[in-house]
Every structure is written in structure tokens, then in C-alpha cells.
A and B are shown apart, each in its own frame.
Chain A
Amino acid sequence: MNEYNFAYLDEQTKRMIRRAILKGLAVPGYQVPFASREMPMPYGWGTGGVQVSAATLTPEDTFKVIDQGADDTTNAVSIRKFFENTAGVETTEETEKATVIQTRHRIPEAKLREDQIIVYQVPIPEPLRFLEPRETETRKMHSLEEYGLMHVKLYEDISQHGAISTAYAYPVKVLDRYVMDPSPIPKFDNPKLEMDAIQLFGAGREQRIYAVPPHTKVVSLDFEDYPFEATKADHPCDLCGAEDSYLDEVIMDDAGNRMFVCSDTDYCRSRREAGHVGRLVEENTA
């Protein structure tokens, strides 16, 4: 694909995106409008993340793409291939080795470092969207720091269900100012949002970029008497025995037997290579 520029986008477009990224880093959690381009994959399939990655990647980078925590889900494969073809960068499945990680719906289990960038694909960047459908209104609410509606929603959850009934895309407040949608990661991942790496969020269809710089305070919204709780399936991983990782539930047979495995496939692999074993591996070798 030599007829396209490095990482597909032309340099002017990349410059425009980089400006938006820098503005986003300067105002953490603020949604910066940007002139999102049509990409050769559909809107809603990671075009925001792809544009941010394209503007971030250099030829020396090592790139990793995950979807639902896994490197081999179809859309992750497709995006990785896109950058292999258009940027010729090295790719990896190892979190450790990657310098830029594009993700959909997960934050890797391994702690990210200062020399890494994580790029999130964002479907609906506006945390207030489902409370107020109008962009004109929600922008006003952000500028006035008027987040009462969000607290009322969380309160109503508690009064109706006894708990905050948001399990993913759990809203956070960044640096005591902007309420931000962390993209549809499970709330299990929310505590990791305070990290050493640069976090960039790209929403292509909605034309927004936002960012969280390293070591920035990120607080999941809650109440003193109903504190935020990062939850996951109450099991260890059946393959590697990890008790600290987010799990996928897999149906194994017609009888409805289940197994629980790490959603982060690289984390699971590295643990198994280090000799950790889970329930099913034990049963199999026994």
C-alpha cells in the first residue's frame, strides 16, 4: 500500500489530530472537537482510535491492538493488519514490548509504563449523553461544571436497585474538574485509569478526542455511604489461576458448564509460561 502516506493519514490531518491531542492533554478530561476523517473501516469500529494511533505512531514504535482484552479478536486483527500495511510498524501481542497500545473495552492487567501510550476507542464520548441527548446542552453543562444530573442518576440507581447499576463505561471525574466517560471498559478497570502512561481517547464518529496525562487524579463517581467498587466474576482464572484479573465467562457444553478465563490473553499467556496453572489445567494434567 505504498500509495498511502505513513499510517494512512496525510501529514496535515495528523497535525490537526496532534493539536487536538495536545489540547486534550492540557485540559484533562475535556472533549476536544476534531475534524474526524472517514477511514477505510466503519464508524463505530474504532475509527477514532485508529486516527489517534495514526497521529501518534512513529516508524520506531511497536504497536499492540486488543479488543475485549484479546489480541486475536477479529476487529483487533483487522486494525493491527491495517497498521502493518500502512505504517509498516512492528507489532506485538506482548503488553511489555508495546510502545503504543490501541484498545477497545479493556485496560491491560500489566501495569503500563511512562514510555507507553494507550489509545482507547470510544463510541460515545459524552458521559452525560444518555441523560441529555443534546450536544448543545451537555457542552453547557460541562462548561458550568453542572453535574447534578449525573449524581441524581446514580442516586436513583441506589434507591431503585440498592446499588449503582452501571457496570461498564462507569463515569469518572478527572483532576477534580471534568466528568469523563472512560469508554466502555468494565468498572473493574477504573482504578487503573490513574497510571504512568499517557491515555488518549478517540471518538471518530462523534469527532472528539480527550486525554488523561500520566499521574493524573481520576476518581470514579460515588457516594460516601455507597463507595465505588471495582467488581469482577468471583473466580480465579481456570487456565492460569490468576485471582486479580478480569474474567470472561465461557459456556463449555450443552449442560451449561462454564469456565472463567482471563480476558487479557497476553496476561494469561505470560502467567502460564511462568508456570501458573488454573483449575482446568490441573484437572487435565491430573
Chain B
Amino acid sequence: MYVAVKGGETAIENAHAWLAEERRGATDIDELSIAQIREQLGLAVNRVMAEGSLYDPDLATLAIKQSRGDLIEAIFLIRAYRTTLPRFGYSNPVKTGEMACDRRISATFKDAPGGQVLGPTFDYTHRLLDFKLAAEGEVPAALTAQPRTEATPHITEFLKGEDIIQDEPASDTTPGDLTREPMEFPSNRPLRLQSLTRGDEGFVLGMAYSTQRGYARNHAFVGELRIGKVGVEMDIPELGFAIDIGEIELTECETVNQFKGSKTEPPQFTRGYGLVFGQSERKSIAMALVDRALRWEELGEDNLGAPAQDEEFVLSHADNIQATGFLEHIKLPHYVDFQSELELVRKLRREAEERITPKEAAE
């Protein structure tokens, strides 16, 4: 006779134990240390920090180790941890114009104050598997140069003088906080940027790519891409002034977009903006393209019905933690709903058969 399935609890515990064993892998192989992951898989750590919305390389590293390298799972761990942290306040806006740049390139000017600095990029590597690495090749030290001591100005600043690029209106209003207020539509640019910077890299990339292929094309040039460290300052009310509370690495991309003008705006260049934790170049460029596409209304452009122009569509589906949770929940039991569907389909079939059968009999 059927015995109701009991023992969900034991099954879960056993599954967890097996998972832990699988995570560790063969025990005759050395265990990965946190320091090894942090130092040698830095770009994975950056992605987890960016999409986890928490700047902490050590925690992101731990999450990667715990998740067996499943980055979305690692991002989830970081997000879940992040919500438990008390909110002490907000930092002042970071000054990316004062960034100590490791990399800074412009596709719009051959040279500009601050120069073109390639930095540690894959760009011009030939994508050939380096079999020497399999044998643990140590690398010779790279050459070093004297770092600039003066600030590296933003490229778009040079266009501003001519009034040929749209000025971004400065505002001291405190922007909304995506993690504290429910998202409501229509939204606004600060919230859109918050959503995009923590959005799934693959999703934002796909959206950006769609604009390049003609779904609301916005003719983007990379005006500037810079990666480096900036100081984070916070006003301390008890002190009455701002103090430096740390330093974070950021990737910033500003696109310069051709714009023929609209009913409300004169012909001038416009901008898209991307800012992402860590060295996250692909993501920041993609973010800038999508940001620009979402600005159609503010610039008086036509709504072409392209997915990347659709704020509700983009923002509702950019978050991989929401997406993966809902996608994967369909593996949870649905006996009850399925049973009710089963009854319904049986009933409809019975009725359909009754409708069909007498007709055949009459023929």
C-alpha cells in the first residue's frame, strides 16, 4: 500500500552533505584558498560584486568558492547577505574625474590630456590557448611607468565648451534607492542606472547589442572608458565634515551618441552612461548603450517599439536573482495546480467527445 512520502527533512540534509562534498572535489587535490580566487579570478570577483551590489572582494570570493563557481549563485549569496546589513547612510557622489586610472581610452579622440592608457586589457591578445599556463607558468614582471599625479579630465568635458554635447542637468536632489523603495513605472534615470549596474551582464549585453543591430540604434561611440580607483567620502554629522572611508575600483563608460535633434532638442551629441564596480568593461559599455536607448522620451525621440527602449521591459527583467529564482521555482511541487488542470482537461475532453460522437452516429 502507498505510504505518504515523508522524510523531506532527511532528504534535504543528505542533499546538502553531498553538495558540500561535490564542492570540495577530489580531496587529493589541494583546496582553493580564498586568496587564490581573489587574486587569480579577479574578474569573476568583480562581476559578483557588481551584480551583488556589494563592494567587498573577500566576501565575493567566498561566495564564488561556496557556489562552486556558479556566479549567479554567488551573486545571490552576496545579495542575501547584503540585505542583513544595517544602512548607516549614503556616501557623497564619487568623483570619477579624480580617478587614479589603470586604463583610460577614448574612441573619439586620437589623443587628449591624460592620454590613451591601455592598461591590463585582453583587447589585443590573440585568443590562443596558452598551454604554458597549464604547467603553472610564472610571468615576468611587467614594466611600470610613473603614474600621473594630476587628475585625468573626462573627455566629454572637452566637448562641453562648444555646447556640442548635451549638458546633463546638475541636481542635488537625493536619488531614489532601488533597494529601499519598490520599483514603480514610469521610473527615472537614477533608478534605471541603479537597476542596470546590478543587472545581469548577459541580459544588459544582449539589450545593448540589439540597439547596435537596429532595434533603436543610437549611434554610440565610446567617448571614454576608464578603470581605476576612486576615494569614497562620507559626511559624518558628528564631525561636520566629510572623511574618506575607503577606496573602490570602478569602470566608467561614457558614450557619445550622434543625435540629429528632435522637436524639443537642437542637433547635438548626447550621452549614455555606465558605471560598474570593479573592472567590468563589457558591462559598463553595454549599460551606457541601454541607458541611452532608454532616454528616448526625455530627448523627444520616437518610440520605435524596440525592446531596449522599453523601460518596464528592461528593468523588470534585468535582475538575474529575480529571474533565476522565478525560472527555477517551476521545479518545486505543483501537484495541486497540475491536478486541477488534469481534472479540467479530462472534463473538457469528455464534453468535446460528447459533442463529436452523436454527429458521427448520424452520418
Task: List the interface of chain A (C-beta within 8 A of B).
Answer: 4, 8, 10, 33-40, 42-45, 47, 67-69, 72-78, 81, 104-106, 123, 134-136, 161-163, 165, 167-169, 184-188, 205, 207-208, 231-233, 238-239, 246-250, 252, 259, 261, 263, 265, 280-281, 283-284
Asked whether A207 lies within 8 Å of B326 as measured between CB atoms, the reply is no
Asked whether A135 lies within 8 Å of B329 as measured between CB atoms, the reply is no
Size bin of chain B's contact surface: 35 or more
Question: B73: nearest residue on chain A (CB-CB)?
Answer: A42
In the bound complex, CA of A36 to CA of B343 (Å): 36
Chain A residues, CB < 8 A from B12:
74, 77-78
> Which of A42, A135, A250 contacts B324 (CB under 8 A)?
A42
In the bound complex, CA of A239 to CA of B8 (Å): 21
Asked whether A67 lies within 8 Å of B332 as measured between CB atoms, the reply is yes
A4-B84, A78-B12, A136-B185 given; A38·B2 CB < 8 A: no
Asked whether B325 lies within 8 Å of A232 as measured between CB atoms, the reply is no
Chain B residues, CB < 8 A from A231:
340, 343-344, 347
Question: B337: nearest residue on chain A (CB-CB)?
Answer: A168
Determine, out of B29-37, B113-121, B175-183, B250-258, the stretch whose residues face the partner at the interface. B175-183
Asked whether A250 lies within 8 Å of B182 as measured between CB atoms, the reply is no
Question: A78: nearest residue on chain B (CB-CB)?
Answer: B12
**B194 → chain A closest CB, angstroms:** 13
Chain A residues, CB < 8 A from B184:
33
Chain B residues, CB < 8 A from A184:
334, 336-337
> Which of A44, A67, A161 contacts B328 (CB under 8 A)?
A44
30 CB < 8 A contacts A-B: A35-B179, A37-B83, A38-B80, A38-B321, A39-B83, A43-B324, A43-B325, A45-B329, A45-B332, A67-B333, A68-B333, A68-B334, A74-B8, A75-B332, A76-B8, A78-B12, A106-B336, A123-B329, A163-B347, A168-B337, A168-B340, A168-B341, A186-B339, A231-B340, A248-B335, A248-B339, A252-B2, A259-B2, A261-B4, A263-B335
**B182 → chain A closest CB, angstroms:** 4
In the bound complex, CA of A67 to CA of B336 (Å): 9
**B221 → chain A closest CB, angstroms:** 33
Chain B residues, CB < 8 A from A161:
348, 351
Asked whether A72 lies within 8 Å of B336 as measured between CB atoms, the reply is no
- Decide yes or no whether B342 CB sits under 8 A from chain A: yes
**A266 → chain B closest CB, angstroms:** 11
Asked whether A250 lies within 8 Å of B2 as measured between CB atoms, the reply is yes
In the bound complex, CA of A240 to CA of B193 (Å): 57
Residue of A76, A168, A247, A261 with most chain B CB atoms under a 10 A cut-off: A168
Question: A3: nearest residue on chain B (CB-CB)?
Answer: B84
Chain B residues, CB < 8 A from A76:
8
- Decide yes or no whether B79 CB sits under 8 A from chain A: yes
- Decide yes or no whether B169 CB sits under 8 A from chain A: no
Question: A37: nearest residue on chain B (CB-CB)?
Answer: B83
Question: A166: nearest residue on chain B (CB-CB)?
Answer: B344
Residue of A74, A162, A167 with most chain B CB atoms under a 10 A cut-off: A167
> 7 closest Cβ contacts across the A-B interface?
A43-B325, A44-B329, A42-B325, A167-B340, A44-B326, A33-B182, A186-B340
Question: A189: nearest residue on chain B (CB-CB)?
Answer: B336
In the bound complex, CA of A28 to CA of B9 (Å): 36
Chain A residues, CB < 8 A from B80:
38-40
Question: A207: nearest residue on chain B (CB-CB)?
Answer: B182
> Which of B5, B9, B312, B337 contacts A136 (CB under 8 A)?
B312
In the bound complex, CA of A263 to CA of B5 (Å): 12
Asked whether A163 lies within 8 Å of B1 as measured between CB atoms, the reply is no
Known: A42-B76, A45-B329, A168-B336. 8 other contacts (CB 8 A): A42-B325, A42-B329, A68-B333, A68-B334, A68-B335, A167-B337, A231-B344, A248-B339
- Decide yes or no whether B11 CB sits under 8 A from chain A: yes
- Decide yes or no whether B7 CB sits under 8 A from chain A: yes
8 A Cβ contacts from B309-363 to A: 312, 316, 321-322, 324-329, 332-337, 339-344, 347-348, 351, 355
**B319 → chain A closest CB, angstroms:** 9
Asked whether B344 lies within 8 Å of A167 as measured between CB atoms, the reply is yes
Chain A residues, CB < 8 A from B321:
38, 42-43
8 A Cβ contacts from B1-59 to A: 1-2, 4-9, 11-12
Question: A42: nearest residue on chain B (CB-CB)?
Answer: B325
8 A Cβ contacts from B71-109 to A: 76, 79-80, 82-84, 86
Chain B residues, CB < 8 A from A247:
339
Asked whether A43 lies within 8 Å of B322 as measured between CB atoms, the reply is yes
**B331 → chain A closest CB, angstroms:** 10
Asked whether A136 lies within 8 Å of B186 as measured between CB atoms, the reply is yes
In the bound complex, CA of A208 to CA of B340 (Å): 26
**B180 → chain A closest CB, angstroms:** 5
Asked whether B336 lies within 8 Å of A68 as measured between CB atoms, the reply is yes
Asked whether A205 lies within 8 Å of B343 as measured between CB atoms, the reply is no
A40-B80, A135-B185, A165-B344 given; A45·B312 CB < 8 A: no
In the bound complex, CA of A248 to CA of B12 (Å): 23
Chain B residues, CB < 8 A from A68:
333-336
Chain A residues, CB < 8 A from B355:
162
In the bound complex, CA of A143 to CA of B5 (Å): 46
In the bound complex, CA of A286 to CA of B142 (Å): 85
Asked whether A186 lies within 8 Å of B337 as measured between CB atoms, the reply is yes
Asked whether B182 lies within 8 Å of A34 as measured between CB atoms, the reply is yes
Asked whether B336 lies within 8 Å of A186 as measured between CB atoms, the reply is yes
Asked whether B312 lies within 8 Å of A135 as measured between CB atoms, the reply is yes
Residue of B79, B324, B337, B355 with most chain A CB atoms under a 10 A cut-off: B337
**A61 → chain B closest CB, angstroms:** 21
Chain A residues, CB < 8 A from B348:
161-163, 165
Question: A5: nearest residue on chain B (CB-CB)?
Answer: B84
Question: A13: nearest residue on chain B (CB-CB)?
Answer: B83
In the bound complex, CA of A33 to CA of B8 (Å): 34
